[in-house]
Structure 1
Amino acid sequence: MEQRHLGRTGLRVSRIGLGTLTWGRDTDEHDAAEQLKTFWDAGGTLVDTADVYGGGEAEHLLGRLVDSLVPREDLVIATKAGSVPDPYRRFDGSRGHLLAALDASLERLGTDYVDLWQIHAFDTVTPLEETMQAMDLAVSSGRVRYAGVSNFSGWQLAKAATWQLASPGVRTRLASTQMEYSLLQRGVEREVLPAALDLGVGLLPSSPLGRGVLTGKYRTGTPSDSRGASEVLAPFVEPYLDDAASRIVDAVATAADGLATTALHVALAWVRDRPGVVAPVVGARNAQQLTEALSVETLSLPDEICQALDDVSAPVHRYPDQDWSTL
């Protein structure tokens, strides 16, 4: 699998990442092991998790599988910290919480460092410089090799990345931002992606298949074994089952028919090759699903197909996003 640099750093990652959101909850150790081995055999390196996935069990699972199944040095392990199970405060970017969360993640993962540590979301209560200082301390201690953020808006990303760049060699450059991005969710193109491109931050798209909807599996109903039929994940899928999404899914299916491939491949290739994108993070139910996704490696969409998909899924960007010099 092709390797790409993560942002303006020396870290290289596979251009498809393996997500572990359901590990320890819907994905048991047997299925997780099959997925990890399949991913590694295909040349995949980037494995994305978080301290809250499965209540910490996703990290436990990954830690048990590393070395016993896949050499640690062959993986780029990315995890996150900052989400908290508190209804009154969903995110905690304080130095104390983040560094304690990192230590707990390392223990669950059974490793003394993570390759990429991401702040899970912006904390509106904690001063940003305190959050960034925790990141710098984690890197300087050797527990973290590279750092990034997740779910930051455009101005939040720009503020954080610029703060870090203000003292090169002292503060840690942001390597990445992880955001939802697909043909069904192109909101990052408004401000986040331009900021990332300008500041040399690589984008790691989550839910690149539109929470599974872009595969076409929901065109005639909700399959009983799908996330849309899951009590936990149905609310996650439901927003993308409206008429607007259906038109985009139909266009993807038409493109797939014309290229003699699958809707999954078309949707994944589209987001994988967007400007600024480094590696879409794919979550699969089993190794068979993952194998299908990874087989997109040889597909590049023709320009006319990309343009047609761009047109049918184009978000409405008006003032102040229009290029007024062309009007």
Structure 2
Amino acid sequence: MKLDNYLTLGRSGLRVSPMSLGTMTFGSDWGWGADAGESRRMFDAYVDRGGNFIDTANFYTNGSSEKLLGQFIAGKRDSVVVATKYSLNMQPGNPNAGGNHRRNMIRSVEASLQRLGTDYIDLLYLHIWDNLTPIDEVMRAFDDLVRSGKVLYAGISDTPAWQVARMQTLADLRGWAPLVALQIEHSLIERTVERELLPMAHELGLGVMAWSPLGSGVLTGKYTRADLGHTQSAEAGVTGTRKDVAAGNGALQPRSLDIADVVAQIAKEQDRSPAQIALAWLLHRTAPTVMPIIGARTFAQFEDNLGALDVVLDSDALQRLDAVSAVAKGFPHDFMALPMTQGVLSGGSSVRRPA
């Protein structure tokens, strides 16, 4: 697999690289990102190797991520696919500067276009569901932006599967621009998305991007059980150290370190880095295909991450990784899979759905 072995994104015809360059680390505003020079090195190397899918958000490093990306894409805008997001509040104290509503979507897009130095956004994500905005308001606003040419495709991130399904169905029924991409946390330490979100994406034609594919760094082997007592204040948010963020988002847990141990064992057997093994596990996922978003802090980490494209995991390695990281599907999935349930459904006949 190579960065220039492009895939079509979901139900669209848009061609994107199988691994996206994440830019949440572009800028040092939060205390743990890459400076402008290191960010530029990663961007240039990614594009030089055929990569074309860049992921950012208005909120990342307080807007610095989009500003830096705007500088980097100057002169090569039409050769890259820029994905950004709206929803998170950039003006604390102003209730309308955050959320999923039309006003914030339009305002955020105009501000992102200015920071990026472009007149269109290839892919705009709703960043996180606010549990407040009517879905018709969201989907009609997406459609208006697509019809205006300021946004070419719509996507969604961090939203319950049932809500995404409602939104996609509404868009289809009314002839509005559909969602073509779903961005979710997915890694060996976060597999609960396999219960509803991934099957939904497969059925509804959504391309899947995985954020935090290394589990906030836990799967790289950088943390040990001595780090389990580390805590982060509720006020810190995304600022501080990477360890603060890993602790704050719940990635630094005993189970996560158990999984990281198996990743490290397989990495040693294959003379690879743990990060490459963890990313390769995602790249092996099908139905739907999962595209990891790599967000390195240094050029060395970035180059190591790209090495995952060359990793081939055999059935034994995949079985060991699947076994240590498995999560219960829960009801109704476990109930539907019971031999008794399947027996009374099929009446003894052998029936399967073709791939």
Same fold? TM cut 0.5: yes
Deviation at 1:43, TM superposition (A): 1.5
- Structure 2 residue runs of 5 or longer lacking an equivalent are 228-238, 341-355
Residue of structure 2 equivalent to 1:6 = 9
Are the counterparts in 2 of residues 152 and 177 from structure 1 also a CA contact under 8 Å?
Answer: no
| Structure 1 counterpart of 2:317 | 305
Determine whether 1:56 maps to 2:63.
yes
Report which stretch shifted further, 88-97 or 31-40.
88-97
2:281 to 257, 265, 270: 270
- 1:249-284 CA-to-partner distances (Å, cap 9, x unmatched) read 111111112222121111001012212134211100
CA root-mean-square deviation: 2.0
Distance 2:163 2:93 in 1: 23
Between 141-150 and 84-93, report the one with greater CA deviation: 84-93
- Taking the TM superposition and a 5 Å limit, the aligned residue runs for 1:1-327 are 1=3, 2-24=5-27, 25=29, 26-67=33-74, 71-85=76-90, 86=92, 91-167=98-174, 170-219=175-224, 231-238=240-247, 239-275=250-286, 276-322=288-334, 323-327=336-340
**Aligned equivalent of 1:227:** none
Give the structure-2-normalised TM-score. 0.84
Amino acid at match of 1:20: T
What 5-or-longer segments of structure 1 have no aligned partner?
223-229
Counterpart contact for 1:181–1:205, Cα < 8 Å: yes
| 1:75-131 deviations in Å (ceiling 9; x for gaps) | 110000111154796951111110111011001100011111111111222111101
Aligned 8 A contact 1:38 1:287 in 2: no
Residue 303 of structure 1, CA deviation = 1.9
Higher Rg of the two aligned structures: 2
TM-score, scaled relative to structure 1: 0.91
* SS state at 2:176 partner: coil
Q: Give, as a single letter, the amino acid of the residue that structure 1 aligns with 2:240.
A: E
Alignment CA distance shift 1:260-1:182 (3 Å): same
SS in 2 for 1:280: strand
For the structure 1 residues 88 and 243, does the alpha-carbon distance in structure 2 shift closer, same or farther, using more than 3 Å as the test? farther
Aligned residue type for 2:274: A
Show the counterpart of 2:234. Answer: none
Indicate conservation of the 8 Å contact 1:49/1:59, yes or no.
yes
Residue 232 of structure 1: how far off its partner (Å): 4.8
**3-state SS of 2:291 partner:** coil
> Within 1, Cα distance between the matches of 2:213 and 2:98?
24
Question: Which range moved further: 181-190 or 86-95?
Answer: 86-95
Measure how far apart 1:13 and its partner are: 0.8
Maintained 8 Å contact 1:42/1:294:
no
What's the counterpart of residue 236 of structure 2? none
* Residue 216 to residue 234, structure 1, CA distance change in 2 (3 Å): closer
Query: 1:73 Cα deviation (Å)?
Result: 1.7
SS at match of 1:47: strand
CA distance in 1 between partners of 2:48 and 2:225 (Å):
34
SS in 1 for 2:333: coil
CA contact (8 A) 1:4 1:278 kept: no
Helix, strand or coil for the counterpart of 2:66? helix
Q: Percent identity?
A: 37
Shift of 1:221: 5.7
